[in-house]
Amino acid sequence: MLQRPVAMTIAGSDSGGGAGIQADLKTFTSLGVFGVSVITGLTAQNTARVTKVLDVPPEFVESQFDTIMEDFQVRFAKTGMLASTKIVEAVERKVTQYRINLVLDPVMISKSGYPLVTEEVVRDIMRLARKALIITPNKYEAERLTGFRIRTKEDLRNTAIHLHRTLGINVVVKGGKAIGGYDFAVVDGDEIELRGELINTDNLHGSGDVFSASITAFLSKGRDLKEALREAKKIVTEAIRYSLSMGHGNGPVDPFSSVERVVRINEARDDLEKLVEFLERNKEIVKKMISHEEKMNVGLLTEYGDFATLAGGIIRYIDWIKVDGPIVVNWYTNLVYKALKLTGKKLGVSVSLTNEILKACEGGKLKISESGIYGDLVMIDGRAVLVGNSLSEIIEKLEVLRA
């Protein structure tokens, strides 16, 4: 029977689906962890605004803990929105009772610097933080907790060190867009740089949740804290890189992108293998596509920008067709890649301008265009590339050469 590690999220619900409980559970699932949830609050929100917030009664927060813990083994949990003193106290009691290792995201100030909780709640959250395995404040929250100004990477480092020393806990301070995607952690006294990159997007909704949820997921899978931090940084960077332009406000990051990207690469390999098998079975078509002096290749460009192609291509020796090399991904770019980037199409086959190809164009069976967007063939560097959006479309276009 299959089982998975279990991780808990203790947070509010985002009805828009981009942050909070929803982002946490998506992240857990994407990383192969089974997520359980203690909901602390309900929000009516979308990508543009929050219209209402409703706190969950503290006794119901505790009931969720008790019911979960009687049935699941939970060693690690993360927090999100803890909007009132009574909710913080309820969480503190239950985390202590069940000896849960806590990744505490001290949700106090938004990425834009807007206060989200009262001063009293800030004090309560910091009391809970002393019992946490690690805290993950953003730049503004770290400034609020220390009184420091964070403008540079060195400021970020000094702030993290100060929090570690004064609170006696592990900490990672997130620099965010203001510091070029750079974070700094102090774990058991060891300093850790988490270098990222500045990704030009405002679609950052839920990025902090995905980061802390990823830390929790990796811990639940048996990674140590330092490794969990490094892996979580990779996940959130990819989630930001492939964030979603949805709604009318700032769209959400996508924690599923790291999984889907691998799936799309495997699908690309499968499609190209099928295309190569088709060409090997139909040598009479290939002979009409390629001259003796040239070689052809195939390629597929995924929506994530990963490019799969044959390492060497397809070579014709009189009546013998040879497939040269395996299918490789992101190994190099070639003529097919250029054609797919130009046209926005998914799949391509480079061909020679043989008499058979030219006759097919003259007869209206294939259409050549400079852009390839409204045609079948696009000219690149004096060569032609047959393009399409699916394997079936490409094969259908190749079949016109059979006659």
Same-domain check for residues 299 and 352: yes
Q: Per the domain annotation, does 378 fall within a domain?
A: yes
Is 1 contained in some domain? Answer: no
Q: Which residues pair with 302 in a beta bridge?
A: none
Q: Reply yes or no on whether the pLDDT at 389 is more than 80.
A: yes
Identify whether residues 84 and 133 lie together within a single domain. Answer: yes
Is 39 a domain residue?
A: yes
Domain boundary among 255, 289, 321: 255
pLDDT, tens only, 41-54? 999 999 988 889 89
Assign 59 a pLDDT band (cuts: 50, 70, 90): very high
209, 234, 255 - which closes a domain: 255
Whether residues 251 and 265 share a domain: the answer is: no
**pLDDT digits 0-9 by tens, 241-275:** 999 999 999 999 999 999 999 999 999 999 999 99
pTM metric for this prediction = 0.91
Q: How far apart are CA 153 and CA 139, in angstroms?
A: 11
If asked whether residues 54 and 104 sit together in one domain, one would say yes
Q: Are residues 148 and 64 in the same domain?
A: yes
Judgement on whether residues 243 and 282 belong to the same structural domain of the protein: no
Residue 14, beta-bridge partner list: 43
Specify if 129 maps to a domain. yes
Domain boundary among 220, 237, 255: 255
Q: Is residue 149 part of a domain?
A: yes
Q: How far apart are the first and last CA of the chain?
A: 54
pLDDT tens-digit map of 94-113: 999 999 999 999 988 665 55
Question: Within this chain, do residues 199 and 283 fall inside the same structural domain, yes or no?
Answer: no
Q: Which sign, positive or negative, has the C-alpha torsion 170, 150, 208, 38?
A: positive
Assess whether 16 and 157 both reside in one domain. yes
> So what's the pLDDT on residue 118?
80
Residues 249, 266: one domain? no
Instruction: Indicate if the pLDDT at residue 19 is higher than 60.
Output: yes
Q: Residue 20 pairs with which residues in a beta bridge? A: 13
Per the CB < 8 A criterion, the answer to whether 325 and 309 are in contact is no
> What's the number of domains the chain is made of?
2
Q: Domain limits at 148?
A: 6-255
d(CA 207, CA 203) in angstroms, rounded, equals 9
Q: Tell whether 187 is covered by a domain.
A: yes
Q: Could you tell me the CATH number of the domain that includes residue 345?
A: 3.40.225.10
Same domain? 292 vs 243: no
> Average pLDDT in the 302-318 region?
92
Mean pLDDT score across all residues of the chain: 93
Same structural domain for residues 30 and 160? yes
Q: Are residues 176 and 58 in the same domain?
A: yes
CATH of the domain at 223: 3.40.1190.20
Question: Which range, of 155-169, 214-228, 287-301, 366-380, averages the lowest pLDDT?
Answer: 366-380
Report how far residue 244's alpha carbon sits from residue 403's, in angstroms, rounded to the nearest whole number. 45
